[in-house]
Amino acid sequence: MGLKVDLELCTGCGACVSVCPFCALVQREDGKVEVNEACTACGACLEICPVEALSMEVVEKKVDTAVLDAFRGVWVFAEQRRGKLQEVAFELLGEGRVLAEQLGVELCAVLLGSEIQDCAVTLFEHGADKVYMVDHPALKDYTAEPYSEAMSALIRKYKPEVVLAGATSMGRGFIASVAIQVSAGLTADCTELGVDTEKRLLLQTRPAFGGNIMACIICPDHRPQMATVRPKVFNHPVPVAGRTGELIQETVEIKDPVVRLLETVNAMQDEVNVAGAEFIVTGGRGLGGPENFKLLHDLAEALGGAAVGASRAAVDAGWISSFHQVGQTGKTVRPKVYIACGVSGQIQHLVGMNSSDTIIAINKDPDAPIFGVADIGIVGDLFHVIPDLIKSLKK
């Protein structure tokens, strides 16, 4: 199965070559097109061919539907660190609730750790019908192996149809192993989820190619359908005080961890973390050098304690640490106010911040793409505008 080129029909026009997001179509010496190993069978090229030389050969797999039907329920991984539930866990519960209702099933949270029972109460209040808890000393400090072992054991026993985890350092760090262990499909870093209720398929939409394209992905023949979900994309659900559910304490045999925690270092000690900030001022290449981040820190302070973010260009130039990076390869943020200073607005940056409530951009170049997403664009020299802004704020 896969993409087929009818070489009789192919005129060698090359139209398909440039639309393939994966560089999978290559012109031979005679101009006709060949498909290479990079093809993902996405179908982006099918419509562009003027002579219909491209077709998708699909072989229907023989899948025992009874096996798939045995899987029921929506699960979210409730990420906690040192007993504190992480924001993404709540966002997953909010979105998981929507999916569970469309599928007509329960919403369950999976809580892994040691001495974490208090978290279960919070999970119920945020919409979990059931909490599967594994309380085990091997899960006290997060390392990938015991976490994937515990998660895989729960999945094998209870057979959920959907499993979501945050696309965080932790979630992405262990969930790929789980997908291998339970032979499930896993889609990374989704920004939109939906359900095909008839086929009970999870429709998983995610940006790829540095955010230049969106891909919708399904997992038709395997269960559970697993996805990591980008933080700050879905809303924090409104908690219902006193709402309860069923706590299932599971005993799982876990091997002794092979990775040992020596030390934890909080690198953001004296600074506001961009990931959860309400106000963010971000600096890009236009800042010109590391010393000018001082100006942004001053603006952040004048705003009453904003976080300082940075574009990839500024981080790659070594002006500021990558903990500040906003964008496809950095953090996704959704503050009330986002002020981009000297940031050109490459797509890879925009996908990390374009759902902020109010976006303000300051840039010398009136054609900078950042103005395309800004609610308020200020065309001007940031070295003049920002000091004036600080003055006006302090008035």
Binds other proteins (CB under 8 A): choice among 138, 189, 310, 343: 189
Beta bridge partners of 283: 310, 341
Work out whether 143 is an interface residue with other proteins (CB under 8 A).
yes
- The residues in 301-330 that bind other proteins, with binding defined as CB under 8 A, are 303-304, 315-316, 321-323, 328-329
Going by C-alpha positions, the residue among 235, 216, 237 that lies closest to residue 227 is: 216
Indicate whether 144 belongs to the interface with other proteins (CB under 8 A): yes
Should residue 202 be labelled a site residue for other proteins when binding is judged by CB under 8 A?
no
Q: Select from 102-110, 125-133, 184-192, 235-243 the region that touches other proteins (CB under 8 A).
A: 184-192
Min CB(240)–other proteins separation in Å:
27
Residues 248-287 that bind other proteins (CB under 8 A): 258-268, 273, 275
CB of 296 closer than 8 Å to CB of 284? no
What is the closest distance, in whole angstroms, from the C-beta atom of residue 315 to other proteins in the complex?
8
389 binds other proteins (CB under 8 A): yes
Residue 160 vs 245, nearer CB to other proteins? 160
Q: Which of 199, 176, 222, 202 is nearest to 63 (CA)?
A: 222
State which of residues 76, 170, 229, 287 lies at the interface with other proteins (CB under 8 A): 170
Residues 212-241, interacting with other proteins (CB under 8 A): 212-222
48 binds other proteins (CB under 8 A): yes
Region from 63-71, 115-123, 237-245, 367-375 binding other proteins, contact rule CB under 8 A: 367-375
Report helix, strand or coil for 368: coil
- Select the residue interacting with other proteins from 179, 195, 233, 307 (CB under 8 A): 179
Closest CA to 274 of 216, 338, 351, 229: 338
- Out of 9, 39, 121, 248, which residue is the one contacting other proteins (CB under 8 A)? 39
Residue 207 within binding range of other proteins, rule CB under 8 A? yes
Amino acid at 343: V
Closest distance to other proteins from the beta carbon of 93 (Å): 19
Taking the C-alpha atoms of residue 359 and residue 373, their distance in angstroms, rounded to an integer, is 7
Q: Which two tokens stand for residue 85?
A: 């539930």
Strands 54-57 and 162-166: unpaired
Interface residue with other proteins, options 113, 160, 185, 309 (CB under 8 A): 185
Between CA 291 and CA 301, with CA 295 as vertex, the angle to 5 degrees is 130
3-state secondary structure 313-353: HHHHCCCCCHHHEECCCCECCCCCEEEEECCCCCHHHHCCC
Strands (E) in 16-97, as ranges, are 25-27, 33-35, 54-57, 74-77, 80-81, 84-85
Q: Which two tokens stand for residue 247?
A: 């706590």
- Establish if 111 lies at the interface with other proteins (CB under 8 A): no
Smallest distance from the beta carbon of 126 to other proteins, in angstroms?
Answer: 20
Closer to other proteins by Cβ: residue 221 or 250: 221
Residue with tokens 């061919």: 49
d(CA 302, CA 386): 11
When the beta carbons of 94 and 323 are compared against other proteins, the nearer one is 323
| Nearest distance from C-beta of residue 338 to other proteins, angstroms | 11
Rule CB under 8 A: is residue 243 a binding residue for other proteins?
Answer: no
